[in-house]
A and B are shown apart, each in its own frame.
Chain A
Amino acid sequence: MNNSVAKEKIISLRKKRSLEDMRFKYYGFTAMCLSLAVLVFLLYTIFSKGYTAFQKTIVLLEVDYDQEVLKLTPDSSDEEMEKGKFFRVKKQAIENFFPDLSKSDIKLVKKLFSINVDNEIKHYFLDNPEVINTKQQIWVTAHSDVDQLLKGNSRRDVPEDRRKLNDIQLSYVDQLVEEKRVKQVFNNFFFTKADSRHPEIAGVAGSFMGSLFTLFTVFILSFPVAIGASVYLEEFAPKNRITELIEVNISNLAAVPSIVFGLLGLGVLLNVFGLPRSTPLVGGSVLALMTLPTIIIACRASLKAVPPSIKEGALAVGATKTQAVFHHVVPLALPGTLTGTIIGLAQALGETAPLIMIGMIAFIPNIPTGLTEPSAALPVQIYLWVESAERGFQEKSAAAIMVILIFLFMMNAIAVFLRNRFERKW
């Protein structure tokens, strides 16, 4: 083959090769965009499904606080008022909600209201006791089925037997809309109430507090232990078999599936040590063990980053090794460790499976106030709501996801802030 032929061949190949190069680059670019597109789509899905949960539907109800029905008098004491027969007032109000209702119609109308209406009627009265023997127009919470219908989450065009609201109820709702006796307002229940069987009064306050208590436990347990372990391994440990074993152990522990930690919590913390089930104490302990490797890795990295000259300076003025390490090296490694800890806590916040294993999946309708009280946690709450058949819970789960994502975002922002603020260039 002579030279010129070879050259020609190279030139003809060059075009093809550069095309191939372009194509390959394009593949990479597409892959990246696809991954990011999924992220956007995911966030969009959550937002579009969840934003409606921040509003609730309320209905205008005329309530007659008749003293006969209430079995109260204007002079009744507070305690007596507490025990007033408000359910009878409510019953009456619903009977008169639309003119000329038959018995079966009343049953249907009743289902348009939330179970919480009794409570709202009662509280309105307790706040304004002077309304006794008057008729009041009160906005009360609508049933989740009405709420979902008006938000457009459940559809009207499916056959009646597969709908929550039948045709008569639909016509009632339409009438209410027409008479402007129904509107949508900010859903305060979502942020102030714990879980409930009724979507319209279910909120994230309980699980949020549960998550906070859990994270608190994680922090209290894992932060000092992780620092102790890192300081030992980085500064004091002799280079021997045992140290190596510990290090291998930590790196493998970091990759053990979270559900296995849940089994550990169940098998050891609950069954052997008999700690109280479903509590943030146990959940936090399990997650602390899970988070430990993350914090240790971060802490060791920041200990390594402290220049040895600082330690030498302390040793040279006669500090013992322990003093040099704890007076100078550890404080300098703290910001980095804290950053790692927050990232570890953010992971722990989203962990679901281990909490299910130790029973934090129980239905807890009140807001926990301590570490040893049964409580839910945000991710488990999301799981429970995703699994619920009721339509009304789906928007709740998406909204709870928004809450948890915002929480995560804030934690990461704090971590980034800490890193930028305290990171030292040596």
Chain B
Amino acid sequence: MFFWSLVLIAVGIFSSFIYGRSRIKLNSKKQGTKSKSLPNYYAQYVLMWCLFPALIVYFSWAIFQEQIIQNIVISNFEFIEGAVYNEGLLLAEIRNVANNPSFADGKSIEIINAASHYSSLRQISQISFYTSIIIIMLLGALYASQKLKPEFHAQHTIEKYIQYILIFCSSVAIFTTIGIVFSLIFESLRFFAEVSIFEFLFSTEWYPFIPIREGQTAAEGSFGAVPIFAGTFLVMVVAMCVAAPLGLLTAIYLAEYASPRVRKTVKPLLEILAGIPTIVYGFFAFVSVAPFVKAFGQSIGIDASPTSALAAGMVMGVMIIPFISSLSDDVINSVPQSLREASLGIGANKAETIKKVILPAALPGIVGAFLLAISRAIGETMIVVVAAGTAPNLTGNPFENVTTVTVQIVVALIGDQEFDNPRTLSAFALGLVLFVITLFLNIIALQIVKRYRERYE
């Protein structure tokens, strides 16, 4: 369906284009006047009237077809009294049987009936899909062809349409943000309907294990996210302890001391560091740094866990180094040369100039860079998923195993995803916290950097 309908639409727009072009030429010849716009614009006009309605039909079909069919199948399903059904599993079973008749062996007659119902509905849907696409394209072309008169200024209309398309493109970013905010808030509200928000924010017990089957009277889960926040904070602090000095000193060296040749070679190398996927850092942390940390801990008499905040944080710090160094480099370079000259002119040496003049002048920019780096560290996922551990642990000891917000989101969503389960929903509440904090950090950082820029421009 995916491929052939695209071919169908492609054929439709191609022929509509040809049709529009020849039709307007004919019409203007008949009237003996020159058309107001070039023939191609009339052709594009017909094309747009063909394409966009067809696309709307296409996407609405793609989005709703499956759900509508499933609803019909389920509502017609002959439930046996007393038996307990899981709708998701049932549907999966029906689909399996429908797609692959060999699975039908040993399935109940209800399922087999439903499967054939399902396939017939799919067939009907396919046929009506193709017909409606063809009809809608014809209707569009018909409507557009009425306008194909020489006195119609097709170019104006086309340019107006193009404007609409462009506006739509730029609003995708807005829609994305709205989508993020709404999905996070919506699912979080469902979560907070079951778990109190105070428990979530202030309680220190995180046992997200909820009885899966009804009637199971296992312990109620508890959702106090404090240990998770603490773990995130700890890893972030370790990362910044590595990245802040290394990144800043590297930036200072590159901006103030290094020869152009060194700069030219080192900067791309640091960019490589920045371009390495985070899962690679995760691997590195897991196979190299974590065992090293464990061995180091043992050598100084601390019992380090195999996955520790220290290992994850250190590697995350390495990941952030290029981020900090390139941002700080920009900031240091934008300190006016005159300040440098003023300081050097009264006999200060380079180190003094940097420490006493440049860094204070660049401080807001550097703070902004650090804030952006912190927001990065908090949102980073793969390193901590691989190297930090999954069990919540309220501790300040970096040799211990901690867990972070991002890890808990991943853990909650791997495997079975039933959206009526607070454990699954907790991922969205954690995601909301993550989103709000990083957004907050970003806005502040961007403000600081912007104000800093304005000062020296």
Contacts and interface: CB of A to CB of B under 8 A. Distances in A.
Contacts of B66: 274
Contacts of B322: 35
Interface string A237-257: 100000001100111110111
Contacts of A21: 349-352
Contacts of B410: 259, 353, 356-357
Interface residues of B, number: 95
A28 B406 CA distance: 33
A29 B253 contact: yes
Contacts of A252: 177, 439, 442-443, 446
A405 B275 CA distance: 9
A241 to B, nearest CB: 13
A109 interface: no
Interface in A363-414: 370-372, 379, 382-383, 386-387, 394, 397-398, 401, 404-405, 408, 412
Interface in A42-76: 42, 45-46, 49
Contact of B280 (A38, A46, A231): A46
Contacts of A264: 176, 179-180, 183
Contact of B174 (A246, A261, A273, A382): A246
Contact of A228 (B168, B246, B434, B439): B168
Interface in B376-419: 376, 378-382, 385-386, 406, 409-410, 413-414, 417, 419
Interface in A1-16: none
A253 B446 CA distance: 13
A228 B435 CA distance: 27
A423 interface: no
Interface stretch (A170-178, A303-311, A343-351): A343-351
A32 to B, nearest CB: 5
Given A229-B169, A257-B434, A382-B283, A39 B379 contact: no
A256 B435 contact: yes
B273 interface: yes
A212 to B, nearest CB: 16
A255 B438 contact: yes
Nearest to A41: B288
Contacts of A246: 170-171, 173-174
A417 interface: no
Contact of A45 (B186, B288, B355): B288
B280 A382 contact: yes
B351 A24 contact: yes
27 contacts: A17-B349, A21-B351, A28-B253, A42-B284, A226-B169, A229-B173, A231-B166, A245-B174, A246-B171, A252-B177, A252-B439, A253-B176, A256-B435, A259-B379, A259-B409, A259-B431, A259-B434, A260-B180, A260-B435, A261-B180, A263-B428, A263-B431, A268-B179, A350-B275, A353-B381, A357-B409, A386-B286
Nearest first, the 3 A-B pairs at minimum CB distance are: A257-B379, A350-B277, A228-B169
Interface of B: 2, 63-64, 66-67, 155, 159, 162-163, 165-174, 176-177, 179-180, 182-184, 186-187, 245-250, 252-254, 256-258, 266, 269-270, 272-273, 275-284, 286-288, 318, 321-322, 325, 349-352, 354-355, 372, 375-376, 378-382, 385-386, 406, 409-410, 413-414, 417, 419, 427-428, 431, 434-435, 438-439, 442-443, 446
Given A263-B180, A349-B277, A383-B382, 17 more contacts: A24-B351, A30-B249, A35-B247, A39-B269, A42-B276, A228-B168, A232-B167, A249-B177, A253-B176, A259-B381, A261-B180, A263-B409, A263-B428, A320-B155, A356-B414, A386-B279, A401-B283
